[in-house]
Chains A and B, each alone.
Chain A
Amino acid sequence: MQDGTPENSTVKDANDLEYVGKAWQVTYKDVKHAEQRASQAISETIALIHADDTREITLVISGEAGQGLQTIAHILARMFMNGGLHVLAVSEFMSRIRGGSNSVTLRAAHRSVRALNEHIDLCVLLDKKALQRLRGRCAADTILIGDPAIFVDEMGMFPLPLKELSANIGGAIYNNSLVCGYITRLIGWELSHLEIALTRIFTDCDLLAKNCAAARVGWEYGVDSSGRCSIPPCEVKPGRILLDGSQAVALGAVAGGCTFISSYPMSPSTEVLTHLAKLAHAHGIIVEQAEDEISAINMGLGSWYAGGRAMVSTSGGGFDLMAEGLSLCGAIESPMVIHLAQRPGPGTGLPTRTEQADLEIARYSGHGEFPRAILAPGSPEEAFTCTAHAFTMADLSQSPVIILTDQYLLDTLYDLDPFELPDTAPGSRIIATTEDYRRYAPGPDGISPRGIPGLGAGRVCVDSDEHDDEGCITEDFDVRISMVDKRLSKLRLLREDLALPPRLYGPAYFKRLIVGWGSTAAVVAEALEQLQPVATSFLHCIQIYPVSKAITDHLHRAKQIIVIENNATGQFARLLKAETGCTVSREWHKYNGLAFSVDEVVELLRQEVEL
């Protein structure tokens, strides 16, 4: 930060109008720079996918809830990253605290990996039910590992007698480190790689020592299978970090200048709230667990009104409860950032699974007519950039901006370069009011300059009833029309000046255009890369509403449009048809609660090419 001193980063007095004005301009420019950098980062990622080295390994660990799969995933992902590999860790789990059968898939490779594939190289089974669930993903060359005490009659399985081995080192709580040790041996790595990762996970010296001892037991037990599923470590890229999508959203919020978050816990949105709670002290953020989602969004609106930069994080059911608040946001022309983390519905649905079926509530919820924007990041980098940008968009357009993620993106661990931060800290476009201030009097650009109580000599009045330019209730029909027009005119800003552009993967001259949004990005990009069908490109829409001209232009240039989305009815396809008049010739849907895999998209694409 260039102006990091408290003196410079503060609005010093009520009359310092110019400073406040400057702050937002720098912010806006800066966000544009950040987008360019993010765009460049994505291109680099794609370039990496093109790299020759195809060595990779897919490892699945399955077990019951409470057995610590997340811990194993974190330890191994960190070990892979520290060993110079790129890594992706995808979790699928049941909505329960103990029992059931969950799994985590780790894909590690010498080139960037950002998508899930089906085939398993190494499969560690910590519970009996897992084999049945995973059999479809296993082939003849898959190495299955299980405790003979659980899999008594199973043939062709590498025995890992966990119960027996852990009995001497303190019991089942050390199973995870033991399993990690065994896997480390199977991939042909020295134990030191694992020990470094364990040091990061276990900060307590005693616990660390015990877990390192357990890891050694596992590693030594694997002596006869050493390197059976080998992937060599490679040159370590310094400074790489390991984050999941929730962390990327939370960090993006901080970068966007978030100072207030109020939310009600609901999977899979909760982690964003949790991460911001951890950052509350360091970054001076007010974090409040509201009594319900209705309270959460009304708190958020109260905070923006008083000069905060607020966000709420929720999932479908909670967002439904926020609908009236969203409409209030439109009525009082408040900025608002809403993180909507999708999971399958309707009702409680599949609380811990993934889906892209809340686009239409994001687009249409809230009574009455008012502008909004919806951003759907497809990678952790985009999750960071979109969230930061959402604050600028909301602030400048005085409208709600919804960041639409899903369980798959949020709970997946990625290795990445540290995010590029803006050069200047963003601030709100607020003015110090004068005595004659009228909150809803249009400014030169049609947008009413936003004042806050306590800054300036004017009165700041906002009302959910239709109001005049002073904010007072009116039923004057002419005023009504001018207020509706003024509110709706802000959509242009969201569609044009502040819009995030889509990304095109593949040739600029295409006949067939696959269109997706949100978390399907990496899967489709990799499938396209594998199959390389002629004249076929993939358009990944990051800002899905309002639909920008860039998207419309691409759609109009395509001979054939295929829309892929993780839902049953094709919500984005419907939106595109309505907004652009395009014809969608095919829709690829998936709605079993899991994300698309690369193999599935390759197969869909192959069928399409062969037609």
Chain B
Amino acid sequence: MSENSYLRTGCDVAWCPGCGNFGILKIVNETLQEMELDPRQTVVVSGIGQAAKTPQYLNLHFFNGLHGRALPAATAIKATNRNLTVIAESGDGDMYGEGGNHFIHCIRRNPDLTNIVHNNMVYGLTKGQASPTSPHGLVTPLQVDGVILEPFNPIAVAIALDASFAARAYVGHADQTRAILKAAIRHRGYALVDILQPCVTFNKLNTYRWFEEHTTPLAADHDHTDKIQAFARACENDPLRLGIFYQNEKPVFEDQLAAYRGDSRPLFERRVDLNKLAETVRVMG
């Protein structure tokens, strides 16, 4: 491990041997190293699940909250102190299932944060049930006749909601994933990076080999500012495209808040102006 590693040493990692999460953790660490992010100004927010344990293994601030609720907490953390770099990281069940409503509205809000989703198309921690992204027909201990729901398409949904950044990566392609992550963290605004990964224990269909065979990079001439083209590519599901589908610079949530007009200080540095409050009471009454 190199000197400036962001990995926490000496922890008992709770993932199965061969899990795609190891690859993502390595990629995240290398990306942060290359970017030389200030570890004391970086917060990782996660929900619950195997992917959501990632911050436990990083030497950064973390807020490991409730299942599905990483995005509201992450949004507020960024809004409360705009100097922080905020990464919300969890799995497909957490972000797209339990947290689906927050996913939709976080995209609409457009806070400046990076949303990394470990997408292995199955539930790991609860032992193998279908996830929102499980393919049609996948047989699980709970979906005994195979999944009958349409899989959730996070990239298409994000583009439809005019997300300011939407990308898909595959853990097996470390170089491209690092490049995408770097672009996502640098991007000002909400940035979705959906990272495909196998679950070696519970998903016998979407294996490393399956992902190699069923993914392909976006064409070199893909125009990520063209929303219609991005949406068309996002709707293709075999092969699944990899890369930055859509990027769209627009005002971020926290910069538009009344609290920051004429006062750029983070909230912890502020105190109520009691003279002004006395005037407010008088005017209101």
Contact = CB atoms under 8 A, between A and B. Distances in A.
A243 B285 CA distance: 6
B79 interface: yes
Contact of A453 (B61, B65, B258): B61
Interface string B35-58: 000011101010010000101100
B257 to A, nearest CB: 5
B129 to A, nearest CB: 20
Interface in B253-270: 257-259, 261, 263, 265-270
Interface stretch (B148-156, B157-165, B207-215, B276-284): B276-284
Contacts of A254: 272, 277, 280
Contact of B274 (A4, A309, A458): A4
Nearest to B47: A464
Interface in A208-246: 239-243
Q: Is the interface of A mostly helix, strand, loop or mixed?
A: mixed
Given A282-B280, A290-B72, A4 B269 contact: no
A461 interface: yes
Interface in A410-460: 416, 418-419, 421-428, 430, 452-460
B60 A328 contact: no
Interface string B49-80: 00001011001111111100100111111111
Given A299-B73, A422-B274, A453-B43, A328 B66 contact: yes
A428 B281 contact: no
A462 B101 contact: no
Interface residues of A, number: 81
Contacts of B105: 290-291, 295
A310 B72 CA distance: 13
B43 to A, nearest CB: 5
A139 to B, nearest CB: 34
A427 B200 CA distance: 50
Interface residues of B, number: 60
A551 interface: no
B227 interface: no
Interface in B84-120: 84, 101-102, 104-105
Contacts of A419: 281
B65 A306 contact: no
Contact of B77 (A1, A239, A305, A421): A305
Given A305-B73, A462-B62, A282 B271 contact: no
B282 A464 contact: no
Contacts of B79: 260, 286, 288, 303
B263 to A, nearest CB: 6
B60 A459 contact: yes
A467 to B, nearest CB: 8
B258 to A, nearest CB: 4
B267 A306 contact: yes
B83 interface: yes
Given A11-B268, A303-B79, A418 B281 contact: yes
Contacts of B271: 9-10, 23, 257, 425-427
A299 B101 contact: no
A462 B63 contact: yes
Nearest to A307: B268
A98 interface: no
Nearest to B55: A461
Interface string A315-357: 0000000001100100010000000000000000000000000
B273 A299 contact: no
Contacts of A424: 274
A306 B81 contact: yes
B72 A298 contact: yes
Contacts of B101: 291-292, 294-295
A308 B76 contact: yes
B40 to A, nearest CB: 6
Contact of B45 (A4, A241, A242, A302): A302
A594 to B, nearest CB: 27
Nearest to A296: B72
B66 A306 contact: no
B284 A247 contact: yes
Nearest to A433: B40
A52 B20 CA distance: 81
B237 interface: no
Contacts of A430: 268
A283 B77 contact: no
A328 to B, nearest CB: 5
Contact of A285 (B60, B62, B69, B259): B259
B275 interface: yes
B102 A295 contact: yes
Contacts of B66: 298, 324-325, 328, 464
Contact of A9 (B72, B81, B273): B273
Interface in B172-202: none
Contacts of B41: 453-454
A284 interface: yes
B256 to A, nearest CB: 11
Contacts of B270: 9-10, 259, 284
A286 B69 contact: no
Contacts of A9: 270-271, 273
B259 A286 contact: yes
A421 B274 contact: yes
Given A251-B281, A306-B268, A259 B259 contact: yes
Contacts of A398: none
A299 B259 contact: no
Contact of B83 (A309, A454, A460): A454
A302 B73 CA distance: 4
Contacts of B275: 1, 4
Contacts of B282: 239, 241, 418
A300 interface: yes
Nearest to B105: A291
Contacts of B75: 299, 302
B69 A298 contact: yes
B11 interface: yes
A291 B102 contact: yes
A154 interface: no
Nearest to A285: B259
B140 to A, nearest CB: 25
B81 A307 contact: yes
A255 interface: yes
Contact of B266 (A1, A251, A307, A462): A307
B258 A287 contact: yes
Contact of A325 (B63, B64, B69, B278): B69
Contacts of B267: 259-260, 286, 303, 306-309
A337 to B, nearest CB: 14
B62 A471 contact: yes
17 contacts: A9-B273, A259-B259, A260-B80, A260-B267, A275-B284, A282-B280, A294-B72, A302-B80, A303-B77, A306-B76, A425-B271, A425-B274, A428-B268, A452-B81, A459-B61, A461-B62, A462-B63
Given A275-B284, A288-B79, 17 more contacts: A4-B273, A247-B285, A251-B284, A255-B274, A284-B259, A285-B258, A286-B257, A291-B102, A295-B101, A308-B268, A309-B267, A425-B272, A454-B81, A459-B60, A471-B62, A473-B14, A473-B64
Interface of B: 11, 14, 39-41, 43, 45, 48, 53, 55-56, 59-66, 69, 72-81, 83-84, 101-102, 104-105, 257-259, 261, 263, 265-278, 280-282, 284-285
Give the 9 A-B residue pairs with the shortest CB-CB distance, closest first. Answer: A241-B285, A307-B268, A302-B76, A302-B73, A1-B274, A425-B271, A9-B271, A306-B80, A291-B105
